[in-house]
């Protein structure tokens, strides 16, 4: 009897430990906030997870509007075991215009980005004034001698015309503003004063529009931010436009070498202006409303592992639907853009492009008739696979930006 009780006690302890571990894992891998529409019960994972509103009153509501509203709630396991407290956002059903067409980006930076250094040969030897002054790759030069730095030529002219005197810079590094004093040197090759640094003030490229929100007149694209090719950091946006693009060809992706869409700006007249370059994409305001198929945004808990359609353009300017599959989903709150692992299964894309290629970023992902997300990155070692972002994350950013821009315009 004693042996039986010991075994039973040990078994109960193991079960309790496993249960605790399961709840801990569920806590870590599930979001802390959820969005739904009125009268829709949140229940997913074959009934394993549900969100139950607390009996307490709502936490907040937008003044003068029935929705959105925010409530305190609990994430439950099988409607029985509480996992954690969460935030429940109730919103009106969100419909957007499905895109999938390519677009060109012309972007100018807010400041001048330091992307490299070059030693200067002088009569006294080889030196690098920029590095010696404490500048680092990725720094953003915002002022030169108290004046705003907005172009590469501002840096070049300040150095060449310094007359051997020091140059005062203000540099943005992360969240810091750092004063730096730089002493240009006279180059032995041409006699000009130089700082020994490479800078960048603009960029251009091709991507894919994900959706247009008629309510806010805002577009969303790429699903990831535009980063400097040398530093890997988000480029600080000063201003920018988007223009129509026609795809003229595809460089096929192979293992170890990403492919890319080749195209040209088919019209130099902007169709929209850039308002934000952030981790989860580029956003801005359209010059004219976009017309097209209205599609409902899927909330992240609605997105499942399984077959999907990719809406993208690999020839001309008209998007087509292609088969793919979501293989993995990451619901963690801390993950903003790499929420999905996607595999291309459509032989048309595989034979023509090898899978996901550069320029396809932003291509809408459709599941069960809803906009589930957008393509963001290709796996370099396997171009048939890549990452995607939740459409809900992009819509949240879009709503924030359109509210700000419309307020400024009013």
Q: Which of 132, 230, 323, 346 is catalytic?
A: 346
Domain boundaries, the chain: 1-30, 31-93, 96-105+204-409, 119-195
Q: Which of 154, 224, 228, 402 is catalytic?
A: 224
* Predicted confidence (pLDDT) at residue 143 exceeds the cutoff of 90: yes
Higher pLDDT among residues 123 and 9, named by residue:
123
Among 22-36, 127-141, 153-167, 349-363, the least confident range: 22-36
- The one-character DSSP state at 135 is -
Q: What percentage of the chain carries pLDDT values higher than 70? A: 83
3-state SS, residue 148 = strand
Classify each residue of 6-44 as buried b or exposed e, where b means 16 or more C-beta atoms within 10 Å of its C-beta: eeeeeeeeeeeeeeeeeeeebeeebbeebbbeeeeebeb
* Predicted confidence (pLDDT) at residue 18 exceeds the cutoff of 60: no
Q: What is the pLDDT of residue 27?
A: 62
Q: What is the pLDDT of residue 334?
A: 77
Higher pLDDT among residues 20 and 108, named by residue:
108
Q: Predicted confidence band at 190 (pLDDT cuts at 50, 70, 90)? A: confident
How far is the C-alpha of 355 from the C-alpha of 325, rounded, in Å?
12
Q: Predicted confidence band at 221 (pLDDT cuts at 50, 70, 90)? A: very high
Concerning whether 302 is annotated as a catalytic residue, the answer is no
Q: What percentage of the chain carries pLDDT values higher than 90? A: 45
* Predicted confidence (pLDDT) at residue 211 exceeds the cutoff of 70: yes
Task: Extract the runs of DSSP E, i.e. beta strands, from 118-229.
Answer: 120-122, 125-127, 140-144, 147-148, 167-173, 176-182, 185-186, 193-194, 197-213, 218-221
Q: What is the pLDDT of residue 241?
A: 93
* Predicted confidence (pLDDT) at residue 48 exceeds the cutoff of 50: yes
For residue 6, list its beta bridge partners: none
Q: What is the pLDDT of residue 37?
A: 64
CATH class of the 96-105+204-409 domain in this structure: mainly beta
Distance from chain centroid for Cα 88: 24
- Close Cβ partners of 254 (under 8 Å, ≥ 6 residues apart): 354, 383
Q: What is the pLDDT of residue 11?
A: 47
* Predicted confidence (pLDDT) at residue 12 exceeds the cutoff of 50: no
Q: Predicted confidence band at 80 (pLDDT cuts at 50, 70, 90)? A: confident
Closest CA to 339 of 321, 324, 327, 355: 327
For residue 35, list its beta bridge partners: 89
Q: Which of 94, 172, 337, 361 is catalytic?
A: 361
Q: What is the pLDDT of residue 8?
A: 47
Average pLDDT over residues 42-48: 66
Q: What is the pLDDT of residue 47?
A: 66
What tokens does 177 get?
Answer: 């503003």
β-strand pairing of 294-297 with 370-379: parallel
3-state SS, residue 25 = helix
Query: Per mean pLDDT, which of 74-78, 141-145, 261-265 is the most reliable?
Result: 141-145
Q: What is the pLDDT of residue 57?
A: 44
pTM of the entire structure? 0.77
Concerning whether 346 is annotated as a catalytic residue, the answer is yes
* Predicted confidence (pLDDT) at residue 16 exceeds the cutoff of 50: no
Concerning whether 361 is annotated as a catalytic residue, the answer is yes
Measured CA to CA in angstroms, residue 91 lies from 61, 62, 188, 302, 404 at distances of: 10, 10, 66, 15, 19
Q: Predicted confidence band at 44 (pLDDT cuts at 50, 70, 90)? A: low
Q: Predicted confidence band at 64 (pLDDT cuts at 50, 70, 90)? A: very low
Helix (H) or strand (E) holding 399: helix 391-409
Closest CA to 319 of 223, 241, 247: 247
Closest CA to 306 of 332, 270, 345: 345
CATH class of the 119-195 domain in this structure: mainly beta
Read off the pLDDT of residues 332-357 as tens digits, 9 standing for 90 and up: 877 778 999 999 999 999 999 999 99
- The one-character DSSP state at 56 is S
Pick the CATH number of 31-93 from 2.40.50, 2.60.40, 1.25.40, 1.10.3470: 2.60.40
Closest CA to 329 of 30, 86, 77: 30
* Predicted confidence (pLDDT) at residue 316 exceeds the cutoff of 90: no
Q: What is the pLDDT of residue 297?
A: 92
């Amino acid at each position: 009897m004693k042996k039986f009780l010991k075994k039973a006690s040990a078994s109960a302890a193991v079960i309790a430990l496993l249960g605790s571990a399961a709840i801990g894992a569920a806590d870590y891998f599930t979001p802390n906030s959820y969005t739904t529409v009125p009268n829709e019960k949140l229940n997913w994972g074959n009934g394993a997870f549900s969100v139950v509103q607390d009996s307490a009153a709502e936490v907040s509501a937008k003044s003068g509007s029935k929705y959105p509203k925010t409530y305190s709630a609990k994430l439950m396991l099988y409607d029985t075991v509480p996992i954690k407290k969460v935030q429940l956002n109730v919103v009106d059903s969100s419909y957007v215009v499905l895109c999938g067409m390519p677009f060109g980006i012309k972007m100018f930076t807010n400041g001048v980005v330091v992307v490299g250094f070059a030693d200067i040969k002088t009569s006294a030897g080889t030196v690098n004034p920029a590095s010696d002054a404490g500048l680092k790759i990725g720094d953003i030069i915002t002022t030169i001698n108290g004046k705003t730095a907005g172009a590469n030529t501002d840096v070049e002219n300040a150095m060449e015309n310094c007359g051997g005197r020091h140059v005062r810079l203000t540099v943005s590094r992360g969240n810091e503003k750092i004063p730096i004093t730089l002493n240009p040197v006279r180059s032995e090759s041409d006699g000009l004063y130089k700082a020994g640094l490479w800078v960048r003030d603009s960029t251009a490229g091709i991507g894919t529009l994900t959706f247009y929100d008629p309510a806010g007149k805002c577009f969303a694209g790429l699903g990831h931010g535009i980063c400097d090719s040398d530093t890997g950091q988000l480029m600080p946006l000063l201003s920018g436009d988007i223009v129509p693009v026609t795809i003229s060809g595809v460089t096929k992706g192979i293992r170890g070498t990403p492919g890319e869409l080749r195209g040209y700006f088919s019209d130099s007249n902007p169709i929209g202006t850039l308002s934000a370059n952030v981790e989860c994409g580029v956003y801005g305001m359209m010059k004219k409303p976009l017309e097209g198929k209205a599609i409902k945004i899927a909330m992240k808990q609605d997105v499942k592992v399984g077959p999907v359609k990719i809406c993208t353009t690999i020839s001309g300017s008209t998007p087509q639907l292609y088969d793919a599959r979501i293989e993995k989903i990451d619901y963690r709150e801390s993950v903003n853009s790499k929420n999905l692992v996607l595999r291309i299964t459509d032989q048309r894309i595989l034979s023509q492009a090898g899978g996901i290629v550069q320029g396809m970023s932003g291509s809408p992902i459709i599941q069960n008739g809803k906009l589930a997300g957008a393509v963001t990155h290709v796996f370099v070692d396997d171009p048939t696979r890549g990452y995607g972002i939740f459409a809900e994350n992009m819509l949240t950013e879009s709503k924030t930006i359109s509210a700000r821009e419309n307020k400024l315009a009013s």
